Amino acid sequence: MTTISASRLSVLDRVFETTFGSAPARHFQAPGRVNLIGEHTDYNDGFVLPCAIDYQTLVAVKPRTDMTVRVVALDYANQQDEFSLADEIESHPTQLWSNYVRGVVKHLQLRGMQIQGADIAITGNVPQGAGLSSSASLEVAIGETFKQLYQLPMTMAEVALNGQAAENQFVGCNCGIMDQMVSACGAEHHALLLDCRTYDTQLISMPETLAVMIINSNVKRGLVDSEYNTRRLQCEQAATILGIKALRDISLNELQKQKSRLPELVYRRAHHVVSDSERTLLAAEALRNNDLKTLSILMAESHYSMRDDFEITVPPIDYIVELLSDYLAGQGGVRMTGGGFGGCIVALMPHAMVDGAKQLIVQNYANKTGIKEDIYICKASIGAGEI
């Protein structure tokens, strides 16, 4: 069960009715995510350990008997879009949000799914541009909506893959599969250990004693796409030189032995990916055993690896991580989460430490950096579905 506030739903329904002239028939949701560990490992066929969060995209929908799709976006001043399933679906010239909807629908068609039109209203409260996967939650919400409306023969993993295909090929962002998969397959009180090669998933129970804190550094994420693509290319280069399909196929031990074969920078990139994927498996085990000491060491190592080897952190984020890691002193873990170059920090800690952690950040971060943070206390939540 997901608890969605009645007021969000009633605002959504009101806009649906004023836009389309009648009430919606059904409601769907898909969550954003926070990644606990395993960064930039997904497109290297490695392991990730994210959880879905209780911030999500909501959809109100009514099926149509023709081939028209009409959409209204509450978070974009009620902008509207309309396209036909009978014509080739093209990019919207100006509205980026429309392209997530168009791309998902187009890729459903490319998969041979038989769909008809729909009237759709969308709203979301996943912070945008913060690295919490607001786009993936939109892609999965739309995929899930059509799946259920037209009883499409798709697994949740296929809804996720369809969303990723839309993002890669229609929107033009070369992301991996982590975000869509956890938005589709997340579970309440659990993190999802995902094997990004086989798509095997294991739910890892999150101890009830643990709070999930997300701190948005509000550092504007510049150059994300180009830096992301550069990192991908460097990882592919490492795999090619090493003669393997993906960095998944080498252990840390073996990589260290092969060091001299790689250019120095490429070695460091590979070192991050291979070590973080190994840490992810250890972290899943530590989480399962409520072993906070081990978890805190693994999260710290992951952060240093992103900072020094993969070079995707920025000083304001490193500052928050240092601040919290001193405060937590092994009783919880903290690291940057997401693609990098700004965005969020994730911290796991006993509930009793939350107030102190918040206070520390509020008292120091803006003074030090001139930027004001946002803090969210999240619950590991269920993946996409009907409300």
Q: Which residue ranges make up the site for ligand GLA (CB under 6 A)?
A: 35, 39-40, 42-43, 175-176, 178-179, 338-339
Nearer to ligand GLA, 42 or 278 (CB): 42
Nearer to ligand GLA, 175 or 214 (CB): 175
Nearer to ligand GLA, 16 or 310 (CB): 310
Give the nearest distance from C-beta 163 to ligand GLA in angstroms: 11
* Structure-block tokens of residue 105: 């629908």
- Cβ pair 331, 349 in contact under 8 A: yes
Rounded to the nearest 10 degrees, what angle do helices 156-165 and 96-110 cross at? Answer: 120
Give the sign of the dihedral formed by CA 244, CA 250, CA 255, CA 257: negative
Give the nearest distance from C-beta 295 to ligand GLA in angstroms: 18
Compute the C-alpha angle 159/163/168, nearest 5°: 145
Catalytic residue among 119, 179, 276, 309: 179
Q: Which amino acid is at 184?
A: A
Left (φ > 0), alpha (ψ -120 to 50) or beta: where does 373 sit?
beta
Give the nearest distance from C-beta 39 to ligand GLA in angstroms: 4
Give the nearest distance from C-beta 210 to ligand GLA in angstroms: 21
Q: What is the 3-state secondary structure (H, E, C) of 171-206?
A: HCCCCCCHHHHHHHHCCCCEEEEEECCCCCEEEEEC
* Residue 335 backbone phi and psi in degrees, to 5: -165, 165
Give the nearest distance from C-beta 231 to ligand GLA in angstroms: 9
The candidate with the shortest Cα–Cα distance to 315, out of 295, 333, 341, is 341
Nearer to ligand GLA, 121 or 160 (CB): 160
Nearer to ligand GLA, 32 or 117 (CB): 32
For strand 68-73 and strand 118-124, is the pairing parallel, antiparallel, or unpaired?
Answer: parallel
Give the nearest distance from C-beta 287 to ligand GLA in angstroms: 18
Give the sign of the dihedral formed by CA 35, CA 38, CA 40, CA 44: negative
Nearer to ligand GLA, 81 or 167 (CB): 167
List Cβ neighbours of 52 (8 Å cut-off, separation of 6 or more).
31, 32, 33, 182, 183, 186, 187, 192, 380, 381, 382, 383
Look up 179 and say whether it is catalytic: yes
The candidate with the shortest Cα–Cα distance to 361, out of 311, 323, 328, is 323
The candidate with the shortest Cα–Cα distance to 39, out of 31, 28, 47, is 47
Nearer to ligand GLA, 131 or 316 (CB): 131
The candidate with the shortest Cα–Cα distance to 143, out of 179, 176, 174, is 179
CB atoms inside a 10 Å sphere around CB 177: 22
Give the nearest distance from C-beta 347 to ligand GLA in angstroms: 17
Q: List, in sequence order, every residue forming a beta bridge with 321; answer none if it has no partner.
A: none
Catalytic residue set: 179
